[in-house]
Amino acid sequence: MSKEENLQCSFCGRKKPETDLLIAGLDAHICDKCIEQAHGIVEEEIAEARTSDLSKDLTLKKPKEIKAFLDQYIIGQDETKKAMSVAVYNHYKRLLQTRGDADEVEIEKSNIVLVGETGTGKTLVARTIAKMLNVPFSIVDATVLTQAGYVGEDVESILSRLLQAADYDVEKAERGIVFIDEIDKIARKGDNPSITRDVSGEGVQQALLKLLEGAVVNVAPKGGRKHPEQKFIEVNTKDILFIAGGAFSGIDRIISKRLNMQAVGYGASVEEDKIDQENLLQYIIPSDLKSFGLIPEIIGRLPVLSYMNPLDAETLRAILTEPKNSIIKQYTKLFSMDDVEFSMTEETLEFIVGKAVEYKLGARGLRSLCEAILTDAMFEIPSSDEKKFRVTKEYAEAKLTKSALKKLRAAS
């Protein structure tokens, strides 16, 4: 027997003829089969370490707990809060899923689209969930996006913002949340063929597809245009949760038309005909988004569709004082930092709500109205000796002059 045939693997004891490859070390040998097994163990250990790191960083709670947290900051919108809680919970369960057997069920991503009028809290819902989960969060305005090669921002700039929010920690960014605002502004401009390309409409939707589905994307670290000499960071979007939001102005007409068409005929039930004309968004279905101008592929990659109820006077009144970070609580805190006791009468609160409803300003308008009323006081009081400041309805009416209201009306 030759000297070579006497060689054996120091781990499993296989002789050289029984192996495909035997690698020699200083005083030992290892065969190809042991290398494969060791590689598998290393991969498993790394995957487990990543999952445990994610478990440590991620504050994951059950859907009811997520909704209870949202209730502290957002008034009403129960249907949306439920849909968001379930979608987010399932998404992060998917991240914590151990990568084991090849035949294991692959859980798909549940990207979300929120439809609602301006000032109803679309962005606030997404921001609050990100705060609770302790993950990177970025808001991107879809109106600035154009197809690659045209004036405007490339779709990849969405991920540049997320990287910045994660302090350029790619692994952290790859499990963040991106809120794409004004998604309705990239709707297809029409079915008529044109000599000019729809580069900020359908072109952007096509470019968004790979991001929403999950792909490895080259991202310019500081955003901006791509050029050949630039260094790129590779980001895998497979585990990034995308939430799209938009006002979809005019979609109520599409819903109304569809509902009226459905109600025609002898088979139409009297019960089904009771349609709430004040809140048509509650009847929204994916085909309405298609009619509005979103391409079917985008709608398919945003499987969770939810709506925001319009805000009535009662909800606006609650928004002023009830949430954890309500507007009145914020002003109370600001004045207390100057040792001033701040309060507002019930009549004043009703007056502010009435103006917000009248000018259809939404929750965002409440802040604008409060600023218009309190700016003079916030300018004068820190330099004075006053220790109490009570806002009456008469004071509020005097501060909200016709010119101030005109300004607010123009902004709405």
User: Which DSSP string do the residues of 203-216 spell out, in sequence order?
Assistant: HHHHHHHHHHH--E
The continuous run of DSSP H or E covering 72 comes out as helix 63-73
DSSP 190-205: -SS--SS--TTTHHHH
DSSP output for 353-372: HHHHHHTT-HHHHHHHHHHH
Binding residues for Zn(2+), as ranges, are 9, 12, 31, 34
Write out the two tokens for 126. 């997404």
Asked if 387 and 339 count as a contact pair (C-beta separation under 8 A), the reply is yes
Q: How far apart are CA 200 and CA 35, in angstroms?
A: 52
Q: Which residues is 350 bridged to in the sheet? A: none
CA angle 139, 309, 247 (to 5 degrees): 45
Binding site feature residues: 9, 12, 31, 34
CA angle 40/45/50 to nearest 5° reads: 125
Element (H, E) at 241: strand 241-246
What interhelical angle do 78-96 and 122-133 show, nearest 10?
A: 40
The one-letter code for the residue type at 366 is L
Kindly state the tokens that stand for 277: 């004309």
User: Can you tell me the distance from the alpha carbon of 183 to that of 116, in angstroms, rounded to the nearest whole number?
Assistant: 11
Residue found by looking up tokens 């009306």 in the block: 409
Contact (CB, 8 A) for 78 and 269: no
Distance CA(210)–CA(332), nearest Å, equals: 47
| 102-129 b/e (C-beta count within 10 Å ≥ 16 → b) | eeeeeeebbbbbbbbbbbbbbbbbbbbb
- Say how far apart CA 142 and CA 333 lie, in whole Å: 35
